[in-house]
Structure 1
Amino acid sequence: MVSLKNILSSNSRISSDLPKGLVAIFVGGTSGIGEYTLKCFAKRTSSPRVYIIGRSQSAANRIVSECKALNPDGTFEFIRADVGLLKEVDDVCRQIRRKEESVNILLMTQGSLAAKYTTTEDLQLDTSLHYHGRMRFISNLLPQLKNALHLRRVVSVFGATNEGAIHMEDFQARNLGFIPRRDHVSAMITLGLEEMARQAPSITFIHEFPGLVQTQAVDAWPGALGVIVRFVVFVAGRFICVSQEECAERHVFLATSSHYPPASGSSDVSGVSAGDEKPAIGTAGATGGGVYSLAWDGEAGGSKSQEALAKLRVAGMDEMLRKHTEGEFKRITGSLSI
């Protein structure tokens, strides 16, 4: 476990160890984990330029005001979009690319519990938000991430360390139950990040499971499982939930610490120094592998996750997933990236 003490120590050095003007994109930054992390990032950094992507203008107005109070020298811009649609993802990325030659951090927390809803692009909404849309953001912004001089980091928050079977006959997960769908999409995200790392080994890619955090998503969880989760949180939340404050600090650490270095590149792009601490274990089982599947405590998922991913690679699922993703990108947008 990466201790909270070490995390707070690392985060306290961000403004001194990293340059002013870090450019960060928070997709899903108007609620929940994205909002908590954004405010912590605003507090910890020096004159950042932050793009906040979400659907709620009223929430964004409040959050931008709060971030400006935390960091008057920062720039915080809201871009309203439905990122369950790949064409809207493209529109957002075009706006950012017109303004920024480089991007340091892309942090994505967008999601939905509307599992059975199909978008106008004929994608399952939750799968589009958790997988297709996130891969599209990365594909579109790889040039800007590669251009960053001091930090290059992608963080995708979902179900890391829970990677399981990918059902190639149902990539959309239209017919999967809750747990099989989580394991299926989690594996897709991690393999998708590995593909991105092959294209850009100088960028760190992190897939993380945040643990149980009391957010609006818990309150909106549907069905009998939602009732059970809310009851457990009500009764024992302070013992089993990650607090909003700790959650925020941990995700800022993921986005900035050299504990998670890229596969290649100079130390300048690795983030705040982790001192003598060894780099984290990557998805292939080696230290500092550039792609990380992490539990809520910032540590790799261990042999279970690594074995599940290895089995998928041996079966050629990474290549099948790549072809599926490229096919959907071309079908919906006409190109692999903007």
Structure 2
Amino acid sequence: MVKLTIARSANSSVVQSQPLVAVFSGGTNGIGLTTLKALAASHSTTGKGLRVYIIGRNQKATEKIIADCLSLCPQGDFRFVRTSDLALLKEVDRVCEEITKAERACAANGDKPRVDMLFMSQGELSLEPYTRNAEGLEFRVSLLYYSRMKIILNLLPLLLESNLPAHVVSVFAAGKEGELPLDDLSMRDPKHRGLVSTRSTVTYMTTFFFEWLASQHAGKLSLVHVFPGLILTDSVRSMPLWARTLWWILRPALSLFCTSVEECGERILFLANPARFPAGSTQGETGVSTPGSNSTPVQGLAPAMGTDLKRGSGAYGVNLDGETMSESQIHKSYDRHRANDVGGKVVAHTVKAFEEIKAGRAFKD
């Protein structure tokens, strides 16, 4: 486990080293919100500049969040970006275009349009009935996977302008791989729609798409998929009444085994550290990717091992404590799929979904 004191010190070092631009999708509650506050607190009054885009649905609630962030970081520029439904890729396109235009407008003031950090935590595996939206995507899977990958691709021109280099953090279920229905990645068959099955499929697809992005943009893009474990956030409010009641009954006992909200925010922010989680660079003789030159070593920590079993390779599956999946876990979950080029199939499936929906057709594969 990475000590919390080390994570906090590393966060302060990165955040205060240069002006930063960050985007939060899912930053108005739960893990996204506590990470946003950790970023604002790390910058505080001594950072070199912070601009943050907060994607959310409730403007009034976000205004309160922005006020809280400004109390922590008075010089910060916190901007609300309204969305109606991020499960719809058309809406994702609109939101990303708004952010892109806003960044381009900053160029008029001599600032460099870019995104240095992207945190995504929208969506959850709720107990609501299986529902496909107008674009042909199951709404939960879209929030957890398709919309997140689309946000990355849409903001890629800005991400590639970062000097950090850019870091993407997706909060869901790294390390929770199980079965993968290769002939039904869209999970149209009811037997593939259970919570465990859905979690596994989304996790596999995230890993393979992240590895593809890291290989396409070596030295420019670091991507981390994290399993946060049990955090006592307010996300329970979206659960059915019986589940909320059970949660509140068990909460005192669960608190003994949970990570605090505040610690969670610090640890999620740490996943954007360029020394611990570097963007993959050139391959050396040992086959280990060399971290970029902008990295400042973190006390006692080597670059993390990527999901391809190479250190510092740019795509990572991580637990909240900052430790990556074990080699044995990666071998067990991924070896058989790599042998069959499942990564290529996942990328092709995802790109096809984006192309079909962009053309105005519902995705039917």
When the two structures are superposed, what TM-score results if normalisation uses the length of structure 1? 0.91
Q: How does 1:15-54 map to 2 (within 5 A)?
A: 15-16=15-16, 18-20=17-19, 22-45=20-43, 46=47, 47-54=49-56
Q: Establish whether residue 327 from structure 1 lines up as the match of residue 327 from structure 2.
A: no
Looking at structure 1, the residues matched to 297 and 102 of structure 2 have their Cα atoms a distance apart, in angstroms, of 29
Question: For structure 2, which runs of at least 5 residues remain unmatched after alignment?
Answer: 104-112, 283-290, 361-365
- Tell me the SS of whatever aligns to 1:256: coil
Looking at structure 1, the residues matched to 314 and 245 of structure 2 have their Cα atoms a distance apart, in angstroms, of 39
Higher mean C-alpha deviation, range 197-206 or range 110-119: 110-119
Q: Establish whether residue 249 from structure 1 lines up as the match of residue 261 from structure 2.
A: no
Going from structure 1 to structure 2, the CA distance change for 1:217 and 1:311 (only over 3 Å counts) comes to farther
1:70-106 Cα distance to aligned partner (Å, 9 max, x none): 1111100011112111011111111122232211011
- Tell me the SS of whatever aligns to 2:270: helix
Q: How does 1:292-303 map to 2 (within 5 A)?
A: 292-302=316-326, 303=328
Q: How does 1:227-306 map to 2 (within 5 A)?
A: 231-232=249-250, 234-264=251-281, 267-270=292-295, 273-302=297-326, 303-306=328-331
Shift of 1:269: 4.4
- Tell me the SS of whatever aligns to 2:223: strand
Higher mean C-alpha deviation, range 234-243 or range 102-111: 234-243
8 Å CA contact 1:155–1:254 kept in 2: the answer is yes
Higher gyration radius (CA): 2
Which one has the bigger helix percentage?
Answer: 1
- Tell me the SS of whatever aligns to 1:84: coil
Percent identical across equivalent pairs?
A: 37
| Letter of the structure 2 residue corresponding to residue 71 of structure 1 | C
- Tell me the SS of whatever aligns to 1:240: coil
8 Å CA contact 2:24–2:54 kept in 1: the answer is yes
Q: Establish whether residue 208 from structure 1 lines up as the match of residue 220 from structure 2.
A: no
Looking at structure 1, the residues matched to 237 and 2 of structure 2 have their Cα atoms a distance apart, in angstroms, of 29
Q: Establish whether residue 86 from structure 1 lines up as the match of residue 111 from structure 2.
A: no
Shift of 1:277: 1.9
Going from structure 1 to structure 2, the CA distance change for 1:196 and 1:257 (only over 3 Å counts) comes to closer
Looking at structure 2, the residues matched to 315 and 228 of structure 1 have their Cα atoms a distance apart, in angstroms, of 43
8 Å CA contact 1:257–1:274 kept in 2: the answer is no
8 Å CA contact 2:115–2:162 kept in 1: the answer is yes
Question: For structure 1, which runs of at least 5 residues remain unmatched after alignment?
Answer: none
Looking at structure 2, the residues matched to 223 and 55 of structure 1 have their Cα atoms a distance apart, in angstroms, of 23
Going from structure 1 to structure 2, the CA distance change for 1:305 and 1:253 (only over 3 Å counts) comes to same
Looking at structure 1, the residues matched to 275 and 321 of structure 2 have their Cα atoms a distance apart, in angstroms, of 16
Going from structure 1 to structure 2, the CA distance change for 1:124 and 1:130 (only over 3 Å counts) comes to same
Looking at structure 1, the residues matched to 129 and 165 of structure 2 have their Cα atoms a distance apart, in angstroms, of 35
8 Å CA contact 2:227–2:318 kept in 1: the answer is yes
8 Å CA contact 1:163–1:305 kept in 2: the answer is no
Looking at structure 2, the residues matched to 269 and 138 of structure 1 have their Cα atoms a distance apart, in angstroms, of 22
Going from structure 1 to structure 2, the CA distance change for 1:119 and 1:197 (only over 3 Å counts) comes to same
- Tell me the SS of whatever aligns to 1:217: helix
8 Å CA contact 1:108–1:156 kept in 2: the answer is yes
Higher mean C-alpha deviation, range 198-207 or range 211-220: 211-220
Tell me what 2:115 maps to.
103
Going from structure 1 to structure 2, the CA distance change for 1:256 and 1:308 (only over 3 Å counts) comes to same
Q: Establish whether residue 127 from structure 1 lines up as the match of residue 141 from structure 2.
A: yes
Looking at structure 1, the residues matched to 81 and 278 of structure 2 have their Cα atoms a distance apart, in angstroms, of 30
- Tell me the SS of whatever aligns to 1:251: helix
8 Å CA contact 2:51–2:76 kept in 1: the answer is yes
Tell me what 1:199 maps to.
216
Q: How does 1:3-14 map to 2 (within 5 A)?
A: 3-14=3-14
- Tell me the SS of whatever aligns to 1:255: coil
**1:77 aligned to 63, 76, 79, which one?**
79
Going from structure 1 to structure 2, the CA distance change for 1:314 and 1:229 (only over 3 Å counts) comes to farther
8 Å CA contact 1:53–1:80 kept in 2: the answer is yes
Looking at structure 1, the residues matched to 302 and 318 of structure 2 have their Cα atoms a distance apart, in angstroms, of 15
8 Å CA contact 1:213–1:247 kept in 2: the answer is yes
Higher mean C-alpha deviation, range 70-79 or range 310-319: 310-319
The count of corresponding residues between Structure 1 and Structure 2 is 331
